[in-house]
Amino acid sequence: MELQGKVALVTGAGSGIGKAAALLFAREGAAVGVLSRTEAEIRETADEIERAGGKAIPLVADVADDGQMRQAVADLVQAYGRLDIVFANAGINGVWAPIDELQPAEWDRTIAINLRGTYLTLHHAVPHLKKEGGSIMVTASINGTRTFTSAGATAYSATKAGQVAMVQMLAVELAKHRIRVNAVCPGKIDTAITDNTEKRHTQEAGVADFNEDRIPLTDDIPGTSDEVAELVLFLASDRARHITGTPVWIDGAQSLVV
């Protein structure tokens, strides 16, 4: 029960990495605010935690909406009285297309959810973390931080690079408040995010005969959401008490061979 007595906020907690982390946080004793813009899936996550004997409150909000995020964080703190851990995980792949085909509205949507959403999550959460200190984790990616070969993923990669820069800036800014800030950078993970990716003419933006799915550690088998959740738990816990401003790649060496 590493997180006994702690309160955590997890965005994008309706599925994939976010849900796995929320369930693990709850098993380790934290009360968890599980947030998603999809009410049905977030209530399912909260119900699953409570059926297992944990504590959770469902928070329905769009991470890119200032008012909704302000209210969601306020509701969480009102319910449990404090906030110690933030996992800013919500994000989309968005549209992957050559830069001359990627439309401004498509660019703006990816930036809004991935980068503005991270900003708003931390903007509203940090005042509460400052009271007792705490830990922030942000889901970035190997894309834009170690690899630049996902054809057409310019908007997505720009947000992931931006998130790592935000993490490193805030690690310095918030250190005096005893708040640690780290980035988790997954490679290919068995989530549904790729099913929601729109790709157009990516062959025009790619490299011929290039295999982006090489994962040396596991013979090309993707990692799991639970494996990423274990890393997030470590970074949230006191075991990582001297780690801040650090991107941690969890990809089975995928980003070292692409």
Please say whether the beta carbons of 237 and 2 come within 8 A: yes
pLDDT at 144: 96
List for the chain the helix, strand, coil content (%; round to 5).
45, 20, 35
Structure-block tokens of residue 102 = 């990627």
Q: CB atoms < 10 A from the CB of 161, how many?
A: 17
Q: CB atoms < 10 A from the CB of 52, how many?
A: 11
Domain layout of the chain by residue ranges: 7-256
State the DSSP code for 207.
-
Walk along the chain (258 residues) in steps of 10 and give the mean pLDDT of each run.
Answer: 97 97 98 97 97 98 98 98 98 95 97 98 98 98 95 96 98 98 96 66 61 85 96 98 98 92
pTM to 2 decimal places? 0.94
pLDDT at 198: 75
Q: CB atoms < 10 A from the CB of 216, how many?
A: 12
Enter the CATH code of domain 7-256.
3.40.50.720
Please identify every residue annotated as catalytic.
156
Closest residue by Cα to residue 223 from 19, 16, 36 = 16
pLDDT at 205: 65
